[in-house]
């Protein structure tokens, strides 16, 4: 009997993986893979009413980074066709439902460990938020490098983010992971230097040139690709065509 149960469980796992859609990779730039997406086959039969964006998480627990993630997703998410509720509302509702910030700390800890909300937690969170599904975002890389006034090179900004969509039953519906790097204009040593100012123990240039791109600019490019690959709402069934033919 034990052997039969073990075999049945193994078959179930095999079937589950067989029904899963393989991960897809977004078009690359310069031969570099940028994004990887996975979508559950269950999405084809679901009619999600709403999606709530949970507070973001970052590898270094930096609140500014987490807020930038949340802010950058809001404008591109409108193109997905769902009714969205964003993190500010989610925080208020969760604090009220669970009596304080402990639930927010637990969400961050789960995202840092697994990159998503677990199935049991997802059910409780969706019930408290009165939403069909929740989306999480985690920053794994967050870098911005400027070029010194006496150096030659291009400033750059790089991010890497993971996302997961889980519904009110605890099913994982969609995942995304990807990165984006954007460069600023080439800076030549001593070019466009208007002066040098002292800042503590260091000297900083005063130039007329732009620096590394802002994180919001880089995230906008990344999330625009993601929104295009976000599982859209099923199209409503077409109304039956009127019967043709003459009547008496």
Using CA atoms of 187, 189, 192, 193 in order, give the dihedral in degrees to the nearest 10.
Answer: 130
pLDDT in tens, 30-51: 556 789 999 999 888 888 999 9
Q: What's the pLDDT score for residue 18?
A: 37
User: Which is nearest to 172 in space by CA: 71, 46, 74?
Assistant: 46
Q: What's the pLDDT score for residue 25?
A: 65
Residues 6+ apart with CB under 8 A from 224: 76
Domain ranges of the chain: 32-229
pLDDT of 88 higher than 90 = yes
35 close to 159: Cβ distance less than 8 angstroms: no
pLDDT of 8 higher than 80 = no
Whether this prediction's pTM lies above 0.85 is answered by: no
Mean pLDDT (whole number) for 209-223: 91
The DSSP letter of residue 189 is: T
Q: Pick 245 or 61 by higher pLDDT.
A: 61
Distance CA 126, CA 110 (A): 16
Distance CA 148, CA 143 (A): 16
pLDDT of 163 higher than 90 = yes
Domain 32-229 has CATH 3.40.50.10610: yes
């Amino acid at each position: 009997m034990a052997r039969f149960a073990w075999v049945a469980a193994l078959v179930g796992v095999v079937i589950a993986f067989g029904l899963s859609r393989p991960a897809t990779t977004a078009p690359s730039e310069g031969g570099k893979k940028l994004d990887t997406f996975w979508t559950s086959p269950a999405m084809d039969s679901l009619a999600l009413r709403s999606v709530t964006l949970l507070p973001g998480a970052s590898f270094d627990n930096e609140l500014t980074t987490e807020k930038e993630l949340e802010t950058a997703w809001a404008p591109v998410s409108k193109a997905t066709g769902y009714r969205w509720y964003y993190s500010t509302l989610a925080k208020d509702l969760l604090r009220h439902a669970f009596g304080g910030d402990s639930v927010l700390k637990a969400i961050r800890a789960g995202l840092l460990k697994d990159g998503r909300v677990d199935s049991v937690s997802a059910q409780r969170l969706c019930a408290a938020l009165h939403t069909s599904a929740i989306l999480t975002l985690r920053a794994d890389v967050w870098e911005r490098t400027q070029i010194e006034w006496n150096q030659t090179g291009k400033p750059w900004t790089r991010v890497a983010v993971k996302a997961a969509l889980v519904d009110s039953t605890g099913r994982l519906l969609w995942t995304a992971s990807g990165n984006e790097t954007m460069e600023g204009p080439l800076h030549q040593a001593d070019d466009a230097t208007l002066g040098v100012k002292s800042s503590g123990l260091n000297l900083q240039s005063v130039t007329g040139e732009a620096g590394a791109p802002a994180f919001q600019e880089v995230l906008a490019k990344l999330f625009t690709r993601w929104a295009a690959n976000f599982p859209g709402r099923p199209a409503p069934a077409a109304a039956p065509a009127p019967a043709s033919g003459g009547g008496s």
